[in-house]
Amino acid sequence: MTINGRLLNWGVFFVTTGALVLAITAGLVTADGLAQLFRLWPVLVIALGVGVLLRATRLRAVGGIVLAVVPALVLGGLLGAASLAEWDGFRNIRLDCRDRGPTTTEARLGTFTGAATVDLDLAWGELVVTTRPGSDWHFEAAARPGSSPDVEATAGRLAVTSADRGWGRSDCREDTWRLELPTAGRLDLAAEIAAGTGTLDLAGATLGDVDVILRAGEARFDLGKATAEEISLRVEAGSASLVLPATGEVAVDVNVNGGAVQVCAPEGMGLRVRSQSALASIATQGLVRVGDAWESLDYATSIHHADVTVAVNVGSVDVNPVGGCK
């Protein structure tokens, strides 16, 4: 068998670059460690020289790999540093704006007469969703004058959308939404959070489809005391934790692009995880391999089941992490 050295070197280059970026974004390589790497740049120059020398010997294959790894370390370090700077910049902007928060508050109250859908679309701010007994919902928004969200409400639907879809970096214009949803009746919930934070604690809710998109933000979704049929969580350049329902049969789809997700299954919930990934880290604590999936030891005997599909492109997913979902 003949090995194409050029393709091998390109493969090493891309794998090394992606692996370093992933290690940085997942926190395996800290900012201090990255700084130390850049301080050792003379060693990288020496390594390049060694690679060139090896190319003229019988170890030309090793020399080619060295010549692929060194620039990959540089590129991966730069890309990782850029992602850290962007994320830290986002966090610092939010800290700078914390003392210049919303100045006006408005509240809305309504009632669902049966099954209902809830659509939430927040850009730059904080979303807190909880539950309340009965069929009434209550929404409260704090925002700067002129940027109150658009609210559409009927007996079977509630839709809330940010008035300004921009990132609001120049004037610290961010909303704070607090929504209480009723526990009576079935709800389909869709939420999108862009450049913000979210906390969804839906204890007692009866949920059908749950569709959540998180872009450049942080969020925690606790469905441990709720029921749901289907859950979809997509994270892009952010971090999220998801606590699955403790009862029922639920299908879960987790999609990560440049981010980190924790998934926790309550005790007694049979858990099965299937995954596909590229330049990703997927950890499955306490699960065993069964065919093409990872399963909890009690999956076959459990009354309740969660079937989770994970797709990760440059990021990480941690299933049942030690210490639980943060």
Greater confidence (288 vs 60) lies with 288
Work out the pLDDT band at 322, boundaries 50, 70, 90. Answer: confident
Report the pLDDT value the prediction gives residue 4, as an integer from 0 to 100: 47
Question: Could you tell me the pLDDT band of residue 167, with boundaries at 50, 70 and 90?
Answer: very low
**Residue 141 pLDDT exceeds 50:** yes
pLDDT of residue 287: 93
When mean pLDDT is compared across 135-139, 230-234, 258-262, 275-279, the lowest value belongs to 275-279
The torsion angles phi and psi of 166, rounded to 5 degrees, stand at: -75, 170
Domain ranges of the chain: 5-97, 104-319
pLDDT category at 201 given cuts 50, 70, 90 is: very high
pLDDT band at 169 (very low <50, low <70, confident <90, very high): very low
pTM above 0.85, yes or no: no
pLDDT band (50, 70, 90) for residue 3 = very low
pLDDT digits (tens, 9 = 90+) for 77-106: 555 555 544 444 444 444 445 555 556 688
More confident residue, 166 or 202: 202
